[in-house]
Amino acid sequence: MTKDDILRMLRASTTDHLSGADLAARLGVSRAAVWKQIKALERDGFRIEAVPSKGYRLTASPDRIAPADVTDRLGTRVIGRALVYRTEVVSTNTLAMELAQAGAADGTVVTAEKQSGGKGRLGRTWFSPEGGLAASVILRPAIPTHQAPLVTLMGAVAAAGAISRSTGLPAGIKWPNDILVRGRKVCGLLTELSAEPDRVRHIVLGIGINVNMDRTALPAEYRERTTTLSAEKGGTVDRTGLLRELLRELDRGYRMLLKDPAAVRTAWKDLNVTLGERVAVRGGSGDVEGLARDIDAEGRLVIRLDSGGIVQVAAGDVTILKR
């Protein structure tokens, strides 16, 4: 019997108390052994109410990812069949790329409580302290290399879906793959690729979500444009539950990608907040301003310039201009 066994039972019964005798009998141990594990759980940061003659009830969990709870009865086909959990890494994407090179299976997930060198798009740093969610998924899709950008679009759809389902907040996608809540960024994606000219070897899809950290802890230069789920929701968000939801959404999205790649683009368009807006795109291969018309099959943003010309932009930062 481990403390995880007791935790599982307490979690399954958050409204009723579970008596020490009952727990002991179900686990085939003494009541003293149960008590010892309850104390160990409290040292881990769980709050457990103990009422004489009624028993124990879990009242609060530490804001930490519980790997066993992420994978327990997850119900996915591919994503999260293997989970690598660390308290700290430099970058989950870097570790995932190393594991992929060493042969890790399709769907393996790498997550960590915090990253000391989280990587963002366009060579930037991704601020990734405790209280955030950092996850990288190793994918081995049998797709031609030119379809690889669809993986990022699929990841953005999955992340927006998981955020909405877990928090009830409205999440939209700003091209290329920022997830916004009420106009501010809560999540970013970074895809890294190992490919041959005509086929993908493996892809690491990295997803970073600002969850429970204090908004004022975000780097000053981003603070106006970014937010956290807890700030928007007005309360702590269960990161274990959010990660589970994310893996389920990714599993659905991955299946869609392999079966019907065009459907990924449609799903992205349904959730996007960029198309139909006047935008300025900076970085990438130069600055462009115009009307965001569409995304093409390669995930590039199609912009109609004021001159009437059409350009496709592959990378950059979009600002949605006020009408």
C-beta of 6 vs 97, nearer to ligand BTN: 97
Query: To the nearest whole angstrom, how small is the minimum distance from the Cβ of residue 51 to ligand BTN?
Result: 42
Q: State the binding string over 205-224 for ligand BTN (x if CB under 6 A, else -).
A: -xxx----------------
- Sheet containing strand 178-181, edge to edge, reads 83-89, 109-115, 133-139, 200-209, 184-195, 178-181, 171-174
Choose one: 129-137, 220-228, 276-284, 306-314; the region binding ligand BTN (CB under 6 A). Answer: 129-137
* CB contact at 8 A, 177 and 188: yes
Choose one: 127-135, 149-157, 274-282, 310-318; the region binding ligand BTN (CB under 6 A). Answer: 127-135
Rounded to an integer, what distance in angstroms lies between the CA atom of residue 117 and that of residue 18? 43
- The answer to whether residue 191 forms part of the interface with ligand BTN (CB under 6 A) is no
Encoded tokens for 196: 């041959």
Rounded to an integer, what distance in angstroms lies between the CA atom of residue 88 and that of residue 301? 35
Query: To the nearest whole angstrom, how small is the minimum distance from the Cβ of residue 195 to ligand BTN?
Result: 19
Rounded to an integer, what distance in angstroms lies between the CA atom of residue 160 and that of residue 181? 9
Distances (CA, A) of 192 to 138, 180, 251, 287, 321: 10, 22, 19, 24, 30
Encoded tokens for 320: 């949605």
Residue 219, amino acid = P
Binders of ligand BTN in range 28-57 (CB under 6 A): none
Rounded to an integer, what distance in angstroms lies between the CA atom of residue 317 and that of residue 282? 5
Query: To the nearest whole angstrom, how small is the minimum distance from the Cβ of residue 206 to ligand BTN?
Result: 3
* Contact with ligand BTN (CB under 6 A) among 71, 76, 115, 152: 115
Choose one: 50-58, 118-126, 148-156, 233-241; the region binding ligand BTN (CB under 6 A). Answer: 118-126
Choose one: 128-136, 161-169, 267-275, 302-310; the region binding ligand BTN (CB under 6 A). Answer: 128-136
C-beta of 41 vs 204, nearer to ligand BTN: 204
What one-character DSSP code corresponds to residue 104?
P
Query: To the nearest whole angstrom, how small is the minimum distance from the Cβ of residue 233 to ligand BTN?
Result: 20
Rounded to an integer, what distance in angstroms lies between the CA atom of residue 318 and that of residue 175? 7
Binders of ligand BTN in range 57-96 (CB under 6 A): 91-93
Give every CB contact of residue 142 below 8 A, 6+ residues apart in sequence. 199, 200, 258
What one-character DSSP code corresponds to residue 314?
-
C-beta of 134 vs 264, nearer to ligand BTN: 134
- The answer to whether residue 190 forms part of the interface with ligand BTN (CB under 6 A) is yes
Rounded to whole angstroms, the maximal C-alpha distance in the chain is 80
Containing H/E element for 319?
strand 317-320
Residue 154, amino acid = M
- The answer to whether residue 118 forms part of the interface with ligand BTN (CB under 6 A) is yes
The residues with which 58 forms a beta bridge, in sequence order, are: 48
Choose one: 131-139, 268-276, 281-289, 297-305; the region binding ligand BTN (CB under 6 A). Answer: 131-139
* Contact with ligand BTN (CB under 6 A) among 36, 54, 124, 282: 124
* Contact with ligand BTN (CB under 6 A) among 128, 166, 227, 228: 128
- The answer to whether residue 304 forms part of the interface with ligand BTN (CB under 6 A) is no
Distances (CA, A) of 21 to 1, 54, 81: 15, 10, 35
C-beta of 6 vs 70, nearer to ligand BTN: 70
Residues within the interface to ligand BTN (CB under 6 A): 91-93, 115, 118-121, 124, 126, 128, 134-136, 178, 188-190, 206-208
